[in-house]
Amino acid sequence: MNFTLHIWRQQNSQSKGSFQTYKVDNIDSDTSFLEMLDQLNESLIADGEDCIVFDHDCREGICGACSLVINGYPHGQKNATSTCQLYMRDYSEQNEIWVEPFRAKSFGTIKDLSVYRDAFDRIIQAGGFISSKTGSSPEANTFPVNKSDADSAFDSATCIGCGACVAVCPNSSASLFVAAKINHFDKLPQGKIESHKRAKLMVDKMEEEGFGSCSNHRHCEAVCPQGIDLSNITKMNSLIKPY
């Protein structure tokens, strides 16, 4: 398969970026999207050109590093899929592909397709933890958890912190990410005691970092590669009010 790629190139957050056009030919249908970019970079390096910078790590849909907007969709148009899990056969009917970084005021550009997402780390540091004494782990059945709460906690905990929710939101809100982290702890007895305080601290930090507020467009839920449910935001809001 042959593709025409329009890729955003930007030297740093202070410089002005633009789309640059590249041709890639004879791409196997089983090649992943990131492997295709690897092949393009190999050819650019061979020609003495600067390679395209993009984020990646595990390439197994776990780390959330592969933050690309493909043809206008964070992580591409395929549902519940991160960029590293896309294959070029998914684009067999598209000859042209537009690739750009996650765009938000709080996601500053490092270079090309790579952005700073350390604001997420600072939100977690503000309250995404459980206060407890150090020491050996208690016996697993010391705090019984019913199955529905355990399943709900796990569903929230699957958030990989990729930032797709921010990239697609017209307000650049991080509410889905923050809510998932808050509700993960709230469903467990060890974390419930600090639920209201945790929610207040993390939401305040989210706003301080420049993320917008949720206005219920539900785009975040649609593009989340882990399928995090919007009900997490409803629960987060209920935790903030009584505090």
Is the domain defined by 118-240 classed in CATH 3.30.70.100?
no
The 10s digit of each residue's pLDDT in 113-143 is 999 999 999 999 999 999 887 777 777 778 8
Q: Is the pLDDT at 237 greater than 60, yes or no?
A: yes
Assigned CATH class of 3-111:
alpha beta
**Across 46-65, average pLDDT:** 96
**Across 141-170, average pLDDT:** 93
Percent of the chain at pLDDT > 70 equals 99
Asked if 209 and 106 touch (Cβ cutoff 8 Å), the reply is yes
The 10s digit of each residue's pLDDT in 57-72 is 999 999 999 999 999 9
The 10s digit of each residue's pLDDT in 31-44 is 999 999 999 999 99
Q: Is 216 exposed, middle or buried (0-12, 13-18, 19+ CB in 10 A)?
A: exposed
Percent of the chain at pLDDT > 90 equals 91
Residue 75 to residues 135, 220, 227: CA-CA distances in angstroms? Answer: 41, 12, 13
pLDDT at 242: 60
Q: Is the pLDDT at 146 greater than 80, yes or no?
A: yes
Q: What is the pTM of this model?
A: 0.93
pLDDT at 142: 80
Of 57, 23, 59, the closest CA to residue 43 belongs to 23
Task: Give the residue extent of every domain in the chain.
Answer: 3-111, 118-240
Q: Is the pLDDT at 10 greater than 80, yes or no?
A: yes
DSSP string, the chain: --EEEEEEE-SSTTSPPEEEEEEE-S--TT-BHHHHHHHHHHHHHHTTPPPPP---S-SSSSS----EEETTEET-SSTT--GGG-BGGGGTT-SEEEEEE--BTTB-EEETTEE--HHHHHHHHHH-S-----SSPPPGGGS---HHHHHHHHHHHT-----HHHHH-TT-B-HHHHHHHHHHHHTSHHHHTTHHHHHHHHHHHHHHTT-B---S--HHHHH-TT---THHHHHHHHHHTT-
Residue 61 to residues 74, 75, 77: CA-CA distances in angstroms? Answer: 14, 11, 15
**Across 73-93, average pLDDT:** 96
Q: For all residues of the chain together, what is the average pLDDT?
A: 94
Q: Is the pLDDT at 243 greater than 80, yes or no?
A: no
